Amino acid sequence: MNWTVSRHDLPLSAPFGISRGTSEICECVVVELTHEGTTGYGAVTPSAYFGETTETVTETLPDLLAAVDEVGDPHAGQRIERLCREVAPDQPAARSAVGIAVADWAARTLGVPLYRQWGLDPERVPATSYTVGIDPPEEMAAKAHAAVEAGFGILKLKLGSDDDRARFDAVRAAVPETELRVDANAAWDADEAVAKAGWLEAGGVTMLEQPVAADDVAGLARVTDVTTMAVCADEACQTATDIPRLADACNVVNVKLPSAAVRGRPGGWFTLPTPTGSPRCLAVWSSPAPRFPPPSTSRPSSTTPTSTARSCSMRTPSRASPSRATGSTSGRCRRARARAGSEPGKTGRFPASAVNRQ
């Protein structure tokens, strides 16, 4: 089994700003895994915020790829995943790059695309939203308008600056009929988030992502209690072990594949048990923001995933799938079900979203 690892700095078509700073390049690590004449490809864009960089990923990959070689069969995905977790338990981004390469190799050896191997329906390819980074209000409005003209029906706005209201109002005026989501990237304190949730909801925002600091679970719950928008935990949820403590504080958690090193067949809903054994209602998405559509009587199996993209000179489409918890007596669960168009006491409809790096 042969492999190569390479690093690439992909220039963004325009600087991309969030509350923590502005980036002009996308740092990417690519893995090529060759076995029996077939090559599988994997890639990851690690985030220093979550503790991994291109340097740490590049240094870790040889040990992970040696683990793949030790197993000797790229079709043995579960064994490979277990061994890789033993080798690098705290580096999910590096493991993710290897997992993608192994999955790609396995599908190629069977002569089918990965979506066919996993049984995905090409007619259900996720709609892609467009993320508008922090810029002066007029520039954000122009980018939002251009994205809608290009065919994007959902926009995600980055906020968390000293002039959020002006930025939001400029975008809403430019695209009055477009679905908007907002991501503050943990920039606000709870009081500020509660205040801003009011005018964001009035402006038609369907989802508010990580409005408060990652460690402020009580603040996140305060925001969820005062709004009918879906409230999403992002920076607060870095591994699966974070989910129980967030279950009563929000409606949704954002699972980034490079952070969680999620691998395997996408799809399916699951129930999140509490310590007492009773289920809580928390929608868990394979990466970014979920889309809460108008009321629908569709069954969970007919949900329409969405994805989030941002402007980049080189971008690879990605797919994800829904998964969720069902059945709860919590108020947040009932509100989430109501927004999703289900009757009280019944499961709601939570379409999922796909990969978004920030």
Could you identify the residue written with the tokens 């002006």?
A: 166
Which residues are catalytic, by number? 158, 256
Distance CA 356, CA 255 (A): 10
Residue-level length of the chain: 358
- Residue 31 bridge partners (DSSP): 5, 42
Q: How far apart are CA 338 and CA 157, in angstroms?
A: 25
**End-to-end Cα separation, the chain, in angstroms:** 34
- Is residue 267 within 8 A of residue 323, CB to CB? The reply is yes
C-alpha neighbours within 13 Å on the C-beta side of residue 65: 23
Question: Cβ(255)–Cβ(246) under 8 Å?
Answer: no
CA distances from 88 to 40, 41, 75, 91, 103 (A): 21, 20, 20, 6, 19
Please give the Cα distance from 24 to 44 (Å, whole number).
Answer: 17
- Identify the DSSP state of 242: G
Both tokens of 107, joined, read: 């599908």
Sign of torsion, CA 161 283 295 198? negative
| CA nearest to 237, candidates 258, 218, 260, 221 | 260
Cα 275 to chain centroid distance, Å, stands at: 26
Residues 189 and 169: their CA atoms lie apart, in Å, by: 21
Cβ-count burial of 192 within 10 angstroms (0-12 exposed, 13-18 middle, 19+ buried)? middle
